[in-house]
């Protein structure tokens, strides 16, 4: 038994900030940002929340799959930027969808989150736990961004993507994932509360002298770049070798959209053409766990995916965490060439 994607959806905030807008906040320029990252603009929430975007992306994925909310056995939301702590974002999505049968919980694995959500849903469905799962990556990174820090504010955007999975007979491709907490300082964001503080169970504010910058995402860009360009090709090759699949069988490598230079470096190290590495970060920036499902949904709705194609999904990010999964595409849209 395997987990087949049978529908995708996404939600993107309408409000945008282009590189010229960023240049009014910090010392930078459109040319500088494009050259170093590939980002041209990013979409930013106004009235939306992480939960509202997740729910809308989920509705679109369910519609695309022809699946009703009542059929869902599992809902997973991958996010580091939820607007709610309790109840979890997945339960909030469940309530908005009207999916009473589903077991719901959140995952926090940053930019690798959608890969781990897919793997978790795959394990649940393969074990017979259920037949239908909904996985969502949704992020409001603008709430965690220090808009005075040029190293990070040029990179991130908001959005949500979702996929519906069905348990079906088919080839099982085993995923490969890794974590290295020893290198976690490369990308951090501290909580505004200390939950290990008072014995009576109440939260307490962190000390007043803690710098505000620690409450925003902080990144060692050079360290992350070196980690990504080495680890991502390695984990993709691990997944290919583990499943006895050759690179020639892969139609597309759908990578986390962090930086165009990283994607180009991964393509070179794999010896694969850039045509196999779709890129949309110029429009959205880095949306963390939402980036892979947003890209997957775009490709699905544009009719770029064909039945039987093998795809590699690969994510990397804070933790440090990284992983790759191979999927075989079965969803055929009405505008797809058979």
**Burial of 289 by CB count in 10 Å (0-12 exposed, 13-18 middle, 19+ buried)?**
buried
Query: Going by C-beta distance under 8 Å and a sequence separation of 6 or more, which residues neighbour residue 285?
Result: 39, 41, 42, 155, 156, 157, 257
Cα gap 235→253, rounded to integer Å: 12
Task: Give the distance from CA 233 to its chain's centroid.
Answer: 18
Query: Going by C-beta distance under 8 Å and a sequence separation of 6 or more, which residues neighbour residue 127?
Result: none
Cα gap 107→137, rounded to integer Å: 9
Cα gap 190→212, rounded to integer Å: 10
Active site residue 146: no
Q: What is the token pair recorded at 198? A: 């008072």
Contact 78, 289 (CB under 8 A): yes
Pick from 111, 179, 97: nearest CA to 139: 111
Cα gap 157→292, rounded to integer Å: 13
Give the active site residue among 111, 119, 146, 259.
111
Give the active site residue among 91, 104, 153, 256.
256
Active site residue 193: no
Look at the chain and count its residues.
338
Contact 287, 156 (CB under 8 A): yes
Active site residue 202: no
Taking the alpha carbons at both ends of the chain, their separation in whole angstroms is 25
Q: What is the DSSP string of 37-85?
A: H---EEE--SS--HHHHHHHHHHHHHHHHT--GGG-SEEEEE-S--S-S
- The residues annotated with a catalytic role in the active site are 111, 256, 286
């Amino acid at each position: 038994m395997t987990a087949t994607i049978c529908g995708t959806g996404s939600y993107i905030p309408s409000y945008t900030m282009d590189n010229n807008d960023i240049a009014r906040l910090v010392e930078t320029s459109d040319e500088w940002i494009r050259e170093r990252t590939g980002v041209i603009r990013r979409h930013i929430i106004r009235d939306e929340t992480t939960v509202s975007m997740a729910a809308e992306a989920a509705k679109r994925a369910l519609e695309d799959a022809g699946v009703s909310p009542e059929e869902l056995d599992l809902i997973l939301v991958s996010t580091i930027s939820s607007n709610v702590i309790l109840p979890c974002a997945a339960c909030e999505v469940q309530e908005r969808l009207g999916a009473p049968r589903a077991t719901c919980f959140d995952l926090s694995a940053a930019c690798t989150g959608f890969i781990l959500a897919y793997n978790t849903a795959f394990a649940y469905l393969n074990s017979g736990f259920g037949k239908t799962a909904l996985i969502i990556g949704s992020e409001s990174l603008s709430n965690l961004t220090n808009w005075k820090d040029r190293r990070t504010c040029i990179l991130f955007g908001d959005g949500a993507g979702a996929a519906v999975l069905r348990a079906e007979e088919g080839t099982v491709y085993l995923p490969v994932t890794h974590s290295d907490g020893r290198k976690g300082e490369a990308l951090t964001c501290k909580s505004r509360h200390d939950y290990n503080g008072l014995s009576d169970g109440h939260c307490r504010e962190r000390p007043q002298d803690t710098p505000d910058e620690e409450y925003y995402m902080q990144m060692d860009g050079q360290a992350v770049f070196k980690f990504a360009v080495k680890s991502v090709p390695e984990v993709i090759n691990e997944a290919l070798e583990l499943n006895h699949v050759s690179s020639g069988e892969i139609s597309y490598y759908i990578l986390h959209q962090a930086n165009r230079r990283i994607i180009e470096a991964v393509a070179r190290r794999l010896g694969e053409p850039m045509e196999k590495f779709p890129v949309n970060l110029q429009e959205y920036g880095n949306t963390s766990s939402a980036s892979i499902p947003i890209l997957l949904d775009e490709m699905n709705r544009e009719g770029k995916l064909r039945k039987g194609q093998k795809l590699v999904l690969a994510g990397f990010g804070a933790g440090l965490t990284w992983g790759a999964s191979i999927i075989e595409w079965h969803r055929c849209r009405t505008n797809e060439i058979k």
